[in-house]
Structure 1
Amino acid sequence: MDPIVVAAGTAVVSAMATSAWETARDGVVALWRRAHPDKAEQAGAELEVVRAEVVQARRDGDADTEQALAGEWQSKLQRLVRTEPALADEVRRLLEEYLMPALAADEQTRVRSIIQTANATGRHNTIYQAGGNITSYLPPTS
């Protein structure tokens, strides 16, 4: 699954429990309106139902339910992008402009850790990635 889609699905559900939810919701509905104008209102209504589940899960300390709901939204966004690959940039914009600003700093860090990617080509390339500090002791090169 595309890391941006995973991050966006996670952020949608996390944003549901914030005071900035209305703005985040508007961003998700706008994405659906561009992709499937006839299903945008249905998506908005579904978001409200899921929001109630997320708020209750947080009250109950039920991280499993919240994770399952995030998985559902990850799948929905993945299907959207798979059907219309041009929407991948729209999902990234949704994440950056609507969802991330709605999240607390610790949740932003958690979502950002999902989208770490790296590529290396050629011989003897090394990539180090971490969500925090790295200490590395490399042998001297000859």
Structure 2
Amino acid sequence: MDLELAALAGQAASTVVNGMATTGWEQVQRAVGELWRRARPGEADAAVRDLDRMRAELLAARRDADDGTEEELVSEWKQRLRRLMADHPELVPAMEQLIDEVRAAGRPEDFRAHRVTMKARASGRARITMAGRDVNITRRR
């Protein structure tokens, strides 16, 4: 899997899922529907219906403080969007535009961060521990 494509898919998925819970919800529906109509016209209506269903799941998860469901939705959309761009690389600029448009339609505080980029370099007997969220470290001697 191309790392740049995966990163873009991850950013787009996070934006789409966060956008589902904002006042820019209609923008999310329109943008995703347009992407599918360009690449897979026969699947566009089903993709939009999936968004509607997943939006209900997301709103319930946020109400119940269920981060796991939200993470699953982001993961699912990441895979869908990655496959779509892998099959239709000409959609990459449209995916970048989707991210910009959906973010512009909402407020900055509406968008939770789901993307973490970390780099580390170790040498010798160094030990590196990195976490984008929760981490438990148990050291055995």
Q: What's the TM-score bracket when you normalise by the shorter of the two chains?
A: 0.7 to 0.9
CA RMSD in angstroms comes to 2.0
The code of the aligned residue for 1:101 comes to: A
**Letter of the structure 2 residue corresponding to residue 65 of structure 1:** T
Q: TM-score, normalised by structure 1?
A: 0.73
- Contact 1:8/1:95 (<8 A) preserved: yes
Q: Identity rate of aligned residues, in percent?
A: 35
Superposed CA deviations along residues 24-49 of structure 1, whole A, max 9, x for unmatched, are 21111111110111111111111100
Structure 2: unaligned runs, 5 residues or longer: 118-141
- Secondary structure of the residue aligned to 1:110 is coil
Q: Which amino acid aligns with 1:76?
A: R
Deviations 1:49-70 (A, max 9, x none): 0000000000000011101101
- Once residues 105 and 8 of structure 2 are traced to their aligned partners in structure 1, the CA distance between those partners, rounded to angstroms, is 17
Match of 1:137 in 2: none
Equivalent residue for 1:46?
Answer: 50
Q: Amino acid of the residue matched to residue 94 of structure 1?
A: L
Question: Which runs of 5 or more residues in structure 1 are unaligned?
Answer: 117-142
How far, CA to CA, are the matches of 1:72 and 1:57 in structure 2?
Answer: 15
3-state SS of 2:22 partner: coil
SS state at 1:14 partner: helix
TM-score (norm 2): 0.73
Q: Which amino acid aligns with 1:85?
A: P
Shift of 1:103: 3.6
Report if aligned partners of 2:23, 2:106 keep a CA contact under 8 Å in 1.
Answer: no
